[in-house]
Amino acid sequence: MGLAKRIIPCLDVDNGRVVKGVQFVDIRDAGDPVEVAKRYNEQGADEITFLDITASSDDRETTVHMVEAIAAEVFIPLTVGGGIRTCEDIRRMLNAGADKVGINTAAVFNPEFVREAAERFGSQCIVVAIDAKKVSAEGEPDKWEIFTHGGRKPTGLDAVEWAKKMVDLGAGEILLTSMDRDGTKNGFDLGVTRAISEAVHVPVIASGGVGNLQHLVDGVIEGKADAVLAASIFHFAEYSIQEAKETMHAAGIEMRL
């Protein structure tokens, strides 16, 4: 078998708890991050992404401890994102046991940070997270724009061009979230996923909107994503990782079963 497509459960962590909201509001509690990570590891998750959605620096310390606790027990790759703004932030997370870091807003305000981070730590651990929203009207050619602050602030940046720029600066992977779809359970925005997958040579992780297992299949086959990220369908035990893998495998996708 060649390279398998990946399923990545995502832990949005606020104040030391896994939470999940609809389009970043209406938050529900989904448990203790270490316990949740262990469960996904046992179910055969290919990686785990940990998104720190708290803003305060006190909570940042909690995050470091949590990453340490997860890395001590879960022997699959761990990506940590949220609030990564400096090389020092990256160093702390890697030292705590993260394998990759996700850079989001900081890349928008200072694209050179991506270059600096990739040169210092290597492209293989720099994931640039892109939050995109469709801005073209019905009937117009498709166009997606980068948004920051949980999808509230437009930046005027074209999402596909931005992804290419991030890869040129050294991003080793793109985590693409559709802000229109996030939390809706209506499936990935396959248009933007495919547009970015075809525009860059690094792996693309599709995120935002998974409501059932067919959505994961669509993300890989139609969206051409290399990995699919989902949160709530796994957190609330609607589906196990194993079921998701079996469904994707049955659809002809190479999976690690």
Annotated catalytic sites, by residue? 12, 131
Rounded-to-integer distance, Cα 250 and Cα 41, Å: 22
User: Using CB under 8 A, which of the segments 56-64, 66-74, 147-155, 209-217 binds other proteins?
Assistant: 66-74
Closest approach of other proteins to the CB of residue 104, in Å: 19
- Indicate whether 124 belongs to the interface with other proteins (CB under 8 A): yes
CA distances to 55, 100, 166 from 169, in Å = 26, 16, 5
Closest approach of other proteins to the CB of residue 139, in Å: 32
- 173-178 and 126-134 beta bridge pairing: parallel
User: Using CB under 8 A, which of the segments 101-109, 114-122, 145-153, 241-249 binds other proteins?
Assistant: 114-122
- Indicate whether 237 belongs to the interface with other proteins (CB under 8 A): no
Closest Cα to residue 241, out of 18, 22, 40? Answer: 40
Residue number, 195 or 227, with CB nearest to other proteins = 227
User: Using CB under 8 A, which of the segments 64-72, 82-90, 176-184, 209-217 binds other proteins?
Assistant: 64-72
Closest approach of other proteins to the CB of residue 19, in Å: 26
Give me the 70-89 binding string for other proteins, x by CB under 8 A, dash otherwise. Answer: -xxx-xxx------------
- Indicate whether 257 belongs to the interface with other proteins (CB under 8 A): yes
Amino acid at 178: S
CA distances to 17, 29, 72, 182, 208 from 66, in Å = 10, 17, 10, 25, 24
- DSSP output for 35-68: HHHHHHHHHT-S-EEEEE---SHHHHHHHHHHHH
How many chain residues interact with other proteins (CB under 8 A)? Answer: 37
Find all residues with CB under 8 Å of 171, minimum gap 6, and list them: 114, 118, 123, 126, 127, 128, 202
Q: Which residues bind other proteins (CB under 8 A)?
A: 1-6, 41, 46, 68, 71-73, 75-77, 94-97, 99-100, 119-125, 172-173, 201-203, 226-227, 256-257
